[in-house]
Amino acid sequence: MGASTGHHHAPLVAWVTSVVPITRKLDYTDEYGSPATTVRAFYVALGDGQGDAASSMVAPEKRVKGPFAAANLSQFYGNLKEPIRLSGIEQAGPNSFIAHYKYATAKSVCEGQGLVTTVTRNGRNYIESIKALKGC
């Protein structure tokens, strides 16, 4: 509606009819000291092809072998045609985040999302799991 009284300090006034919680993108100040800092550092390390640094962000028992082992992370992410780049992080729950990223292999381009679950141990945040949400 148009402003009609002296209490309306703007030319237009809107009425709120409902409030719905949504995930929101975090900025660096929201992330500071939170598990999101670990998520961002993980993806930055992957983008730089540093599997050892990325692996250090993962819960210790998950990085010994398998997809989170330093050598495996370096082998895949270090050989991409276009390095993985994090475009944003949204908080999905107290210890879960949706990471938005993009990378390219020799055969395809991936604009993906991953549900990243974190865990805190001895005051330090680690990545516990990552589930691809868009197939890549």
pLDDT tens-digit readout, 45-101 = 999 999 999 999 999 999 999 999 999 999 999 999 999 999 999 999 999 999 999
Which of these, 93, 129, 89, lies nearest to 113 by C-alpha position?
89
pTM: 0.77
Confidence of residue 30 (pLDDT cuts 50, 70, 90): low
Domain ranges, ordered by start, for the chain: 28-132
What is d(CA 51, CA 84) in angstroms, rounded to the nearest whole number?
Answer: 12
If phi over 0 gives left and psi between -120 and 50 gives alpha, with beta otherwise, what is residue 85? Answer: beta
Into which CATH architecture does domain 28-132 fall? Roll (3.10)
Phi first, then psi: what are they for 42, rounded to 5°? -60, -50
Least confident segment among 15-19, 107-111, 126-130: 15-19
Distances (CA, A) of 107 to 38, 47, 74: 30, 18, 19
Contact between residue 97 and residue 36 where contact means Cβ atoms under 8 Å apart: yes
Question: How distant is the alpha carbon of residue 26 from its chain centre?
Answer: 9
Residues 111-131 have pLDDT tens digits of 999 999 999 999 999 999 999
Contact between residue 89 and residue 40 where contact means Cβ atoms under 8 Å apart: yes
Instruction: Tell whether the model's pLDDT for residue 35 goes beyond 80.
Output: yes
